[in-house]
Amino acid sequence: MKDELLDKIRNEAFEEFAMQKKVTNMINQHNTVQLNTLTDDIILNNAIRHAYEKYKDGIKEKDTNNVYVYTGTYNSNKEKVEYYNFDAMFRTYDNVEGIIEHTVYVDDVPKFEKDHIVLFVENIDNVKFDFLKTSVLKGQHKSVKKMIKKYGRK
C-alpha cells in the first residue's frame, strides 16, 4: 500500500492504542476487578484492525507489494479440487493487503506465480493480519521479508 496510507493506519492505530490503554488503566485503578485480560498486545491488535477497516478501501492493487495467498483450485463447475487436479480450470488468490482477489486460469498460473509472491497457508486472515501488524510496526519491506521467511514462497 502507499506509504501515506500506511502512515494514516499507523497513526490512528497508535492513537487508539494510547486512548484504550489509558481507559483500561483508569478502570483498573478504580475497580477491585482488574481488566487483566486486556493485554497491550490485544489492545494494539484491536486498534490496528480498527484503523485498517477505516482505510482498507483506499488500497489499490497497483500500490501493493504483490503478496498473495493461494485460496483454491476449481474445476469448470466451480467445485473446489486439488491444486494439480486434471480437471482444474482456475485458481484463486487473495492479496494480503486488501480485498483484492484474482481468478487465474490454469494456463496463466505460471506467469501469475512468477510475477507475484504467492504464499500457501491454511488461514488467510492470520496471514493478512500478520502482514498488516508487521507493516505498521516495522515497515512494509520487513513485512514482505517476514511473510516469505515464515510462510514460504512458491
Cell of 47: 486498534
The grid coordinates listed for 75 are 474445476
Strands (E), 5-65: none
The C-alpha cell of 2 is what? 502507499
What Å distances lie between residue 112 and 9, 38, 95, 103, CA to CA?
29, 42, 12, 10
d(CA 63, CA 68): 13
Say if pTM beats, i.e. exceeds, 0.85.
no
In whole angstroms, what is the distance from residue 62 CA to residue 97 CA? 11
Instruction: Identify the sign of the CA torsion 58, 7, 136, 113.
Output: positive
DSSP state of 70: E
Each residue's pLDDT expressed in tens, for the chain with a length of 154 residues: 788 888 888 888 888 888 888 877 766 666 655 555 667 888 889 999 999 999 999 898 889 999 999 999 999 999 999 999 999 999 999 999 987 899 999 999 999 999 999 999 988 888 999 999 999 999 999 999 999 999 876 5
Per-residue pLDDT, 42: 86
**Gap between the Cα atoms of 18 and 38, Å rounded:** 13
pLDDT value, residue 36: 58
